[in-house]
Amino acid sequence: MNLESLYREEWRRVLATTVRLTGDFDLSEEAVQDAFVAALEQWPRDGAPASPYAWLVSAARNRVVDQLRRRARFAEKQGEIEHLAALSEPEIDLSEAAMVDDQLRLIFTCCHPALAVEAQVALTLRTVCGLATEEIARGFLVPVATMAQRLVRVKRKIRDARLPFAVPPRDQLVERLDGVMLVVYLVFTEGYAATSGKVWIRSQLCDEAIRLGRLLCELIPRNPELRALLALMLLHDSRRIARAGPDEEIITLEEQNRELWDRREIAEGVPLLESALREGATGEYALQAAIAALHARAPRAEDTDWAQIARLYDALLQKQPSPVVELNRAAAIAMAEGPSSGLALIDELEAKGELAGYHLLPAARADLLRRDGRWREAAEAYRQALALVANDPERRYLNRRLAEVEGLQSAGGASNIN
């Protein structure tokens, strides 16, 4: 009996059902923890039960009932005593369908819009994924005490404001599912953004996000947007190993060794995306996944279908107007039509001022100037980007490029004299 993998598989399902049965988030979490400890003691001695899930739910439920009984005796709370009576009812629905509903309820409660987004993310990782508070704190680079406090506060709100443990009604389902997808995507991007911290911690967040994506696709099988989100994460994740060097330096898409791309993730992600698009996915995850798929399909960087990527950025801009998407679109157009068209768009963007102080704007300009052989101007733009950049890997990347264009400039930047 491997308790580690049992914990991984059963934690969420056991917790979800225990919360449904007891209506108490906080007590259930402790009780499920205790039930796993009890299993660790008893199963090797007495043999594992036929249904570990049913055993763990029943052990956890009994613990919550004990706790509530102790409290009720202490305070003689009438409400809790009535609640206990309801809990002691013998028939408990442990069917497959009830189990699916329980897990959906758990996810929707954790991602309730009345909770702060960062609290939703933390709570989802804690309760749905079963990550320890220390692991979540490390993943988000905050002190453990801060993360513990965040979790305490959010669970208090769930209890005191009485957030329902429920799947939202039909008329709110789409909107609420958007919230859930955002939480999953935030977990993923936090893991994927090459900012700082130890690589393995970040990979864990990517893995958890993909696991959550898979779970949601299983629980809500007929939603193409969900499938597009999973495809997007898989396609991005397929480049995880290729995009960082041994010292965590950034390796751009163009420079990546495509042999290192995870073919299995691509082989899973592309058909997922195709089926999502066939069934009408048109959201931002689908469009981003379509862009990622075009990269995944190109055997060499120079085979990339940049014209199609630029069109997808157009569509994305319609859905989700943002200066960052505009910047990406400008870069794609530059790759499709030549640096000067991209540079003109970047100038327009800069004139609007929305990206003032954002290092990727001068970095993108620098990149296009470099491609155009305008070394002196490129060096100037790299210096501007370096003055704004906040994290180490990106700073090292920009320094490398700066040294490169400075070298070319002094080696006889004839192309610049005109």
Partner 1 sequence: MEYLLLIYGNEADVAKMSKADQGAMYQEFGSFTQSIQESKNYVGGNQLQDVATASTVRMRGGKRLVTDGPFAETREQLGGYYLIEAKDLDEALGIAERIPSARWGSIEVRPLVKRPG
Using CB under 8 A, list all residues that contact partner 1. 75, 77, 112, 114, 160-164, 166, 168
Q: Judged by CB, which is closer to partner 1: 107, or 215?
A: 107
Smallest distance, partner 1 to C-beta of residue 119, A? 15
Do residues 334 and 308 lie in contact, with contact meaning Cβ atoms separated by under 8 Å?
A: no
For residue 1, give the H/E element and its range.
none
Q: How far is the CB of 184 from partner 1 (least distance, A)?
A: 22
Name the residue nearer to partner 1 (CB basis): 163 or 346. 163
Least distance to partner 1 from the beta carbon of 77, Å?
6
Amino acid at the residue 63: R
Nearest distance from C-beta of residue 149 to partner 1, angstroms: 21
**Start-end of H helices in 193-223:** 199-219
CB of 75 to partner 1, least distance (A): 6
Report, in Å, the least distance between residue 167 CB and partner 1: 11
Shortest distance, position 153 Cβ to partner 1, whole Å: 15
Min CB(20)–partner 1 separation in Å = 14
What is the rounded distance in angstroms from the CA atom of residue 79 to the CA atom of residue 151? 26
Tell me whether residue 80 or residue 404 sits nearer to partner 1 (CB atom). 80
Of the pair 176, 371, the CB lying nearest partner 1 is at: 176
Closer residue to partner 1, CB minimum distance, 22 or 58: 22
> Exposed, middle or buried, 362 (CB in 10 Å: 0-12/13-18/19+)?
buried
Which stretches within 88-143 are classed as H helix?
96-110, 117-123, 133-139
Shorter beta-carbon distance to partner 1: residue 13 or 112:
112
Rounded to the nearest 10°, the torsion over CA 204, 208, 213, 218 is: 130
Query: Quick one: 105 or 401, whose CB is closer to partner 1?
Result: 105
- Which two structure tokens, joined as six digits, stand for 153? 């506060």
- Reported residue count of the chain is 418
Q: Which amino acid is at 69?
A: R
Q: DSSP class of residue 414?
A: G
Place of tokens 């399909």: 297
With b meaning 16 or more CB within 10 Å and e meaning fewer, what string describes 73-91? eeeeeeebeebbeebeeee
Q: Give the Cα separation of 412 and 375 in Å (integer).
A: 10
In the bound state with partner 1, the residue whose beta carbon lies nearer, of 38 and 72, is: 72
Two tokens, residue 399: 């320094």
Contact 131, 90 (CB under 8 A): no
For partner 1, the closer CB: 76 or 91: 76
How many angstroms separate the most distant Cα atoms in the chain? 90
Q: How many other β-carbons are positioned within 10 Å of the β-carbon of residue 251?
A: 18
- Specify the amino acid at residue 363: A
Q: What minimum distance in Å lies between the beta carbon of 72 and partner 1?
A: 11
Shortest Cβ 296–partner 1 spacing (Å): 41
Cβ at position 155, least distance to partner 1 in Å: 14
Q: Which is nearer to partner 1, 37 or 117 (CB)?
A: 117
- Indicate the residue among 84 and 144 with the shorter CB distance to partner 1: 84
Closest CA to 227 of 275, 293, 264, 177: 275
Whole-number Å distance between alpha carbons of 368 and 38 = 62
Q: Give the burial class of 108: count Cβ atoms within 10 A of its Cβ; 0-12 exposed, 13-18 middle, 19 or more buried.
A: buried
C-alpha angle 188/193/196, rounded to 5°? 125
